[in-house]
């Protein structure tokens, strides 16, 4: 069974800190949300995308390549897979309709593209280094 790692962009860090602070002050809804997010992250950490579509959804379409949606309750957290076993949480929003919010999806695509450009895949870097050495 694969173990996936998680990291997050500052927006997600702030969102999780806010929920945890509210939880620690006795907010029942925040406690439920915090526990559900922790549960979803743990399931994905252990099972990856095989955790099930109620936990994680692989977004379809060419423009959504390598874009996933973590689905705790009504929150949606967009993530991308980096370096083969590392999920990066990009952005979030509260779902209020049946369809995925297109503006939030476009924002997640931009964040994914920016992150992957700034943090190239280490496996690809090693391949490039090996090909340079052969020359």
Chain segment 9-50, per-residue pLDDT in tens: 999 999 999 999 999 999 999 999 999 999 999 999 999 989
Q: Report pTM.
A: 0.84
Which domains occur in the chain, in start order? 5-134 (3.30.2310.20)
The mean pLDDT of 126-133, rounded to a whole number, is 44
pLDDT for the residue numbered 119:
87
How open is the CA angle 78-91-121, to the nearest 5 degrees? Answer: 70
* Closest to 91 (Cα-Cα) out of 106, 99, 117: 106
* Closest to 41 (Cα-Cα) out of 11, 79, 9, 10: 79
């Amino acid at each position: 069974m694969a173990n996936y790692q998680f990291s997050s962009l500052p927006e997600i860090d702030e969102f999780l800190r806010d929920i945890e602070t509210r939880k620690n002050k006795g907010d029942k809804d925040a406690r439920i949300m915090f526990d559900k997010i922790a549960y979803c992250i743990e399931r994905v950490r252990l099972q990856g995308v095989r955790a099930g579509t109620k936990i994680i959804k692989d977004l379809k379409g060419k423009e959504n390549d390598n874009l996933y949606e973590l689905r705790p309750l009504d929150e949606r957290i967009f993530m991308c897979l980096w370096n083969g076993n590392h999920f990066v949480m990009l952005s979030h929003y509260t779902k209020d309709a049946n369809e995925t919010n297109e503006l939030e999806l476009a924002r997640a695509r931009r964040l994914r593209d920016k992150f992957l450009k700034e943090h190239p895949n280490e496996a690809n870097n090693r391949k490039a280094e090996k090909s340079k050495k052969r020359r």
